[in-house]
């Protein structure tokens, strides 16, 4: 409980936020509490997207023996000398399982161990088997078409570093290298509590749960407990009782309206450390903890919910999961079409439409602008120290739909 010098926020319902915590201070709070989770061992076939909890070493020499680099005939290179289209060298077909006698050729597939005695692999297209007779149309040098034992890695050599996110490619390669199981960082378990939609403000259906489910999966988390349609303070507090969770996320009822019960419920159950952040949209975000488990209260308006998730919850998830904490979005530089006016002291997230290099700001954060935001294919973040940008300014655009995924 604390030691962070923050005084408990007051109940802001029907009062508004008299003070707001800087985004940088909220991030500091989060970073101080995020702990990389423990390791678990999983089957390699289910490990794509997971984060290595320890360096991964080769279990044996790769390859374990001298083997063929391509489909072809295993030969003794000396036997192929002088072979040509017009005057082929003639060898006797042998079985790849036996040691290769002088004057013979054994067909084998890429990756297969070389039979003792062979010192080269001739591609099939440079030879021709007719019954037991193999004609060789080109000489091959000793060592050609062969991968030496341990040429790729010695037993015990580190193949992949701790913290590496396993790609589909890696899974295929690791299985081929004989790896069966890997130690990865446990996936953060999220308790997701979704408030009932406010009757006064639109559709009865909750907009945030499907969005958050997808974002949580993107950041490597799993929803381990889900409560939806939560309204009163008691139900909200009950939803936050999730002893197994590594992170509690609440969507909705975080604001300054009379029915915004989430902050009070968190204060009742644990500690509301921060409420009201100098962020637009997403300013009604609350942050705290229940018995050491971080809790983030996200606004119910979907664009504010998204913004608060991206700024705070996603970062916490990625840190717990051992991932790069930075926003996972692809970035590019854009040139601003039109100006952006932002309040000093506030971090503002503006939706933009990027066409080529031109970034066109859409609705201002406080205008809501849900339909306009649909047109956005990216966003820009105005730092707290700036009062915006003039037209033509070079800005960093974070692109939607191009995030790295877990």
> Residue 332's beta-bridge partner residues?
397
**18 versus 385: smaller Cβ distance to its own copies:** 18
**183 versus 271: smaller Cβ distance to its own copies:** 183
Nearest-angstrom CA–CA distance, 164 and 121: 36
Minimum Å distance from CB 211 to its own copies?
4
Task: Give the 3-state secondary structure of 123-159.
Answer: EHHHEEEECCEEEECCCCCCCCCEECCCCCECCCCEE
Minimum Å distance from CB 289 to its own copies?
25
Minimum Å distance from CB 390 to its own copies?
25
Minimum Å distance from CB 120 to its own copies?
14
Cα–chain center distance at 215: 10
**241 versus 404: smaller Cβ distance to its own copies:** 404
**45 versus 392: smaller Cβ distance to its own copies:** 45
Minimum Å distance from CB 79 to its own copies?
18
b/e burial code for range 246-282 (CB count within 10 A of at least 16 → b): bbbbbbbbbbbbebbbbbbbbbebbbbbbbbbbbbbb
In a 13 Å sphere around the CA of 348, the CA atoms on its Cβ side amount to 24
**35 versus 181: smaller Cβ distance to its own copies:** 181
Within 8 A by CB and 6+ apart from 336, the residues are 359, 361, 380, 389, 390, 391, 392, 393, 394, 395
30 phi and psi angles, rounded to 5 deg: -65, -50
**37 versus 58: smaller Cβ distance to its own copies:** 58
**82 versus 210: smaller Cβ distance to its own copies:** 210
Are the CB atoms for 297 and 276 separated by under 8 Å?
no
Minimum Å distance from CB 342 to its own copies?
16
| Cis ω for the linkage preceding 63 (within 30 of 0) | yes
Minimum Å distance from CB 28 to its own copies?
25
Please give the angle made by the CA atoms of 143, 81 and 148, to the nearest 5 degrees: 5
Minimum Å distance from CB 5 to its own copies?
23
Number of residues that make up the chain: 406
**26 versus 68: smaller Cβ distance to its own copies:** 68
**145 versus 270: smaller Cβ distance to its own copies:** 145
Are the CB atoms for 116 and 92 separated by under 8 Å?
no
Minimum Å distance from CB 152 to its own copies?
4
16 in helix, strand or coil? coil
Q: Judging by DSSP bridges, how do beta strands 189-195 and 222-230 pair with one another?
A: parallel
> Residue 194, by phi and psi: left (phi above 0), alpha (psi -120 to 50) or beta?
beta
The CB density around residue 26, as the number of other CB atoms within 10 Å, is 25
**21 versus 207: smaller Cβ distance to its own copies:** 207
330 in helix, strand or coil? strand
Minimum Å distance from CB 404 to its own copies?
5
């Amino acid at each position: 409980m604390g030691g962070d010098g923050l005084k408990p926020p007051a109940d802001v319902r029907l009062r508004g936020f008299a003070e707001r915590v800087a985004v940088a201070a909220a991030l500091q709070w989060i970073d101080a509490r995020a702990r990389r989770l423990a390791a678990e061992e999983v089957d390699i076939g289910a490990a794509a997207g997971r984060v290595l909890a320890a360096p991964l070493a080769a279990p044996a020499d790769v390859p374990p023996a001298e083997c063929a680099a391509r489909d072809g005939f295993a030969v003794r290179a000396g036997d192929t000398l002088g072979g040509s289209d017009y005057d082929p060298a003639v060898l006797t077909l042998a079985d790849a399982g036996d040691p290769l006698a002088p004057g013979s050729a054994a067909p084998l597939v890429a990756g297969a161990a070389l039979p003792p005695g062979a010192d080269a692999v001739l591609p099939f297209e440079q030879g021709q088997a007719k019954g037991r007779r193999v004609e060789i149309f080109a000489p091959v040098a000793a060592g050609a078409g062969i991968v030496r034992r341990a040429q790729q890695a010695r037993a015990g050599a580190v193949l992949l570093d701790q913290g590496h996110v396993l790609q589909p490619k890696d899974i295929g390669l690791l299985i081929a290298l004989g790896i069966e199981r890997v130690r990865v960082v446990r996936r953060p378990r999220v308790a997701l509590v979704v408030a009932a939609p406010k009757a006064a403000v639109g559709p009865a259906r909750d907009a945030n749960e499907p969005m958050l489910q997808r974002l949580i999966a993107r950041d490597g988390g799993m929803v381990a407990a889900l409560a939806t349609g939560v309204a009163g303070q008691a139900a909200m507090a009950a939803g936050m009782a999730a002893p197994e969770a590594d992170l509690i996320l609440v969507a909705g009822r975080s604001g300054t309206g009379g029915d915004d019960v989430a902050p009070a419920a968190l204060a009742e159950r644990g500690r509301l450390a921060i409420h009201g952040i100098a962020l637009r949209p997403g300013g009604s975000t609350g942050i705290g903890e229940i018995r050491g488990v971080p809790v983030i209260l996200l606004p119910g308006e979907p664009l504010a919910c998204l913004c608060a998730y991206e700024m705070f919850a996603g970062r916490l998830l990625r840190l717990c999961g051992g991932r790069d904490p930075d926003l996972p979005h692809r970035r590019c530089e854009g040139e601003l079409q039109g100006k952006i006016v932002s309040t000093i002291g506030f971090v503002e997230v503006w939706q933009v439409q990027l066409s080529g290099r031109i970034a066109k700001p859409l609705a201002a954060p406080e205008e809501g602008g849900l339909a306009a935001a649909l047109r956005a294919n990216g966003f820009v973040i105005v730092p707290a120290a700036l009062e915006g940008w003039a037209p033509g300014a070079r800005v960093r655009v974070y692109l939607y739909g191009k995030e790295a995924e877990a």
